Chain A
């Protein structure tokens, strides 16, 4: 393994280390580690950062009772003050551009700069959704071509492009299923959700008006096929399965599950949030899936987590395609593209279940995702999923002797490695290990999810990381696991080097203060 940082700049405070003092500063700043106040505390309401022309203030108002009675109290800051405020805050943030971000199930992969370059081309960037269709044929072409590749990669029949994120896509898929069942006069009431599914799945089903029931997992962390079959019947509308599941395992019985559900008259929803593990290798359409959302912001590398919006197109089987929501892009006989909406829909669109968004979806993400697909090609996409799985298995096997790996014996994992807190000393938890990871310079992994594993730690390296980067993470994790097992007290107060240490999460959730006000002292 490479030694970390053999000759570069090293963090730390050498002066303090040399003479043993902590050398407090009057500002609270520590050289480049800057304290930053709230924006309301920097700018005053009586100052103004812009030189505005004097305006006449005695004009008659037509606002009536809606007229503002008091000063609005917005802080006045100059442009450099504003720029510095947000730049300082951004320096205390951690993102994928700064280092390894192993947040399992969230797929924090690198956002290729080529995607950004293409998305910033004026023909894609400076368009408006209400422009006449004949002036945005290129943008519609992106939607049409991305649709084609999503359908091709998943082996499905159609795709609804408008959903804005994963859970929105789930809702779209379940509403398609409900529309299809209602169209055949079959009002089923129950949606089955295995324990290993994403937490949003039961929430989606409940929101769409269904009762949800759990299906247990078997000992190796996969859906218990016999328990599922036993529960199927004329009241089951659908089964929602996450594949690969949240234990990082591929549901090997997926085809048998789909066949059983179809035989019982139900439909199969697959949560495709983890499609990045099987992209280019498995087509969900071949496994009998009827609807699946694809997170462009995960699998297809578009930014998320504060860096950009999600995008959750839903691919649909032949049975569900007619029920897809408006709007969608359609090719006319002359090869030009049009947007099908309420005003111009025809008989063949009559069964669309409605509309989920005002416009066509996340255009900026479509451009980036299509760039990712076309720049990788079929061999590149296959390699990306293969590398993601290889990296996760490397992490799993390098750590399973020091961390409890509950499904380590269930065969190779897919894109994420799952560990539990078994063996930690009394009073030491997953949270403590995660806080220690902050000191080591990494974003913590996903914690306490999935729920089926005690003190779960879900690590997803993605194909982004090199072996050297993984080795550094593994070295840090091995050290922290050992400290948690040995009961190293210092871990209980970690992080020791972050701008803030342990925030009061309980108080923040119980009594959050969501707005600044002068009355309570800022």
Chain B
């Protein structure tokens, strides 16, 4: 499995034809306490860059974009009752949604962990 990152502070975990998407520790730190998450409907077709989910914190509401195109397999239902999972476990239990990957070529150009860390350090 490989994990990629975007400049919008999202991570994409690729496992065969499935991608799991969440926001990074840096992103949750910037947002502050998350109070509400809206995940996409199963079966929704998302274009790369489309608004896929919404995350609201005590400070701000932000869109989460589809980093690659694909069809939604599942949204993380646990976030409805426990949005704080985004704060406590951003890299794991706080995942947002899973996609079937539409086009593997779109993974090209995304950052790996090392490049993402350098990106965050530059901010």
Residues of chain A at the chain B interface (Cβ within 8 Å): 447-448, 451, 505-506, 509-510
**Residues of chain B from 19 to 58 with CB closer than 8 A to chain A in the complex:** 32-36, 56, 58
B35 to A, closest residue via Cβ: A509
| Closest beta carbon of chain A to B110's beta carbon, Å | 22
B59 located at the interface, meaning its Cβ lies under 8 Å from any Cβ of chain A in the complex: yes
Bound Cα distance from A448 to B32, whole angstroms = 11
B115 on the A face (CB < 8 A): no
Q: Nearest 3 pairs between A and B by C-beta?
A: A506-B33, A509-B35, A448-B59
CA separation between A447 and B60, bound complex, in Å?
10
A-B contact pairs, 21 of them (CB 8 A): A447-B59, A448-B59, A448-B60, A451-B60, A505-B33, A505-B58, A506-B32, A506-B33, A506-B34, A506-B35, A506-B58, A506-B84, A509-B33, A509-B35, A509-B36, A509-B56, A509-B58, A510-B35, A510-B36, A510-B83, A510-B84
User: A449 → chain B, closest Cβ, in Å?
Assistant: 8
Residues in A with CB closer than 8 Å to B36 are 509-510
Q: What residue in chain A is nearest B33 (Cβ atoms)?
A: A506
Return the chain A residue nearest B123 by Cβ: A454
CA separation between A448 and B35, bound complex, in Å? 16
Which residues of chain B are near A509, meaning CB under 8 Å? 33, 35-36, 56, 58
**Closest Cβ–Cβ distance, residue B17 to chain A (whole Å):** 30
Question: Smallest CB-CB separation from A510: which chain B residue?
Answer: B35
List residues of chain A with CB within 8 A of the CB of B56: 509
The chain A residue with its CB closest to the CB of B56 is A509
Q: Which residues of B contact A510 (CB under 8 A)?
A: 35-36, 83-84
The distance in angstroms between the C-alpha atoms of A345 and B84, with both chains bound, is: 55
What A residues does B59 contact at CB under 8 A? 447-448
Provide the bound-state CA to CA distance between A447 and B35, in Å.
Answer: 18
Complex Cα–Cα for A510 and B34 (A): 8
Tell me the dominant secondary structure on chain A's binding face: helix
CA distance A509 to B33 in the complex (A): 10
Q: What A residues does B58 contact at CB under 8 A? A: 505-506, 509
Of residues 68 through 113 on chain B, the ones whose CB sits less than 8 Å from some CB of chain A are 83-84
Query: What's the minimum C-beta distance from A216 to chain B, rounded to whole angstroms?
Result: 14
Residues of the A chain whose Cβ atoms lie less than 8 Å from the Cβ of B32: 506
Complex alpha-carbon distance, A318 and B56, angstroms: 40
Whole-angstrom distance between the Cβ of A419 and the nearest chain B Cβ? 16
A402: shortest Cβ distance to chain B, in Å? 23
Chain A: minimal CB distance from B26 (Å): 13
Question: From A506, which residue of chain B is reached at the shortest CB distance?
Answer: B33
Chain B nearest CB, measured from A195 CB (Å)? 13
Q: CA A305 – CA B67 in complex, angstroms?
A: 40
Q: Tell me the smallest distance from the CB of A204 to a CB of chain B, in Å.
A: 15
- Min CB distance A60 to B, Å, is 47
Contacting residues, chain B, for A505 (C-beta < 8 A): 33, 58
Chain B's nearest CB lies how many Å from the CB of A432? Answer: 12
A509-B36, A510-B84 known; 7 new pairs, CB 8 Å cut-off, are A447-B59, A448-B60, A506-B32, A506-B34, A506-B35, A506-B58, A510-B36
Chain B residues, CB < 8 A from A451: 60
- Residues of B close to A447: CB separation below 8 A: 59
Give the chain B neighbours of A448 by CB distance below 8 A.
Answer: 59-60
Closest Cβ neighbor of B87 among chain A residues: A506
Contacting residues, chain A, for B33 (C-beta < 8 A): 505-506, 509
CA A447 to CA B58, docked complex, whole Å? 11
Please, how many angstroms separate the alpha-carbon atoms of A451 and B34 in the complex? Answer: 17
| Most chain A C-beta atoms within 10 Å of own C-beta, residue among B32, B36, B56 | B32
Q: CB-nearest residue of chain B relative to A447?
A: B59
CA distance A505 to B84 in the complex (A): 13
Could you tell me the distance between the alpha carbons of A326 and B56 in the complex, rounded to whole angstroms? 37
Chain B residues within 8 Å of A506, by CB:
32-35, 58, 84
In the docked arrangement, what's the CA distance between A259 and B64, Å? Answer: 34
B34: chain A residues at CB < 8 Å are 506
A447 to chain B, nearest CB (A): 8
- Name the CB-closest residue of B to A430: B59
Residue of B with least CB distance to A429? B32
Interchain CA distance A506-B34 in the complex, whole Å: 7
Determine the distance from Cα of A28 to Cα of B60 in the docked complex, in whole angstroms.
36
Task: Give Cα A150 to B56, complex, Å.
Answer: 37
**How far apart are the CA atoms of A505 and B35 in the complex, in Å?**
9
Quote the shortest CB–CB distance from B52 to chain A (angstroms).
Answer: 16
A447 vs B34: C-alpha distance when bound (angstroms): 17
A391 vs B1: C-alpha distance in the bound complex, in angstroms? 58
- Measured between alpha carbons, how far is A81 from B34 in the docked complex, in Å? 40
Nearest chain A residue, comparing its CB with the CB of B82: A510
Chain A residues near B83 (CB-CB < 8 A): 510
* A286 to B5 Cα, complex, angstroms: 47
Distance, CA A451 to CA B83, complexed state (A): 22
How far is the CB of A433 from the nearest CB of chain B, in Å? 14
Complex Cα gap A213–B55 (Å): 19
Expressed in whole angstroms, the Cα–Cα distance for A448 and B60 within the complex equals 8
Q: Among the interface residues A447, A448, A505, A506, which one has the most CB atoms of the partner chain B within 10 A?
A: A506
Q: Across the interface, name the chain B residue whose C-beta is closest to A512.
A: B35
Bound Cα distance from A506 to B59, whole angstroms: 10
Tell me how far the C-beta of A491 lies from the nearest C-beta in chain B, rounded to whole angstroms: 17
Q: How far is the CA of A231 from the CA of B36 in the complex (A)?
A: 33
Looking across the interface, which residue of chain A has its beta carbon closest to that of B61?
A199
* Distance A100 CA – B117 CA, assembled complex (angstroms): 43
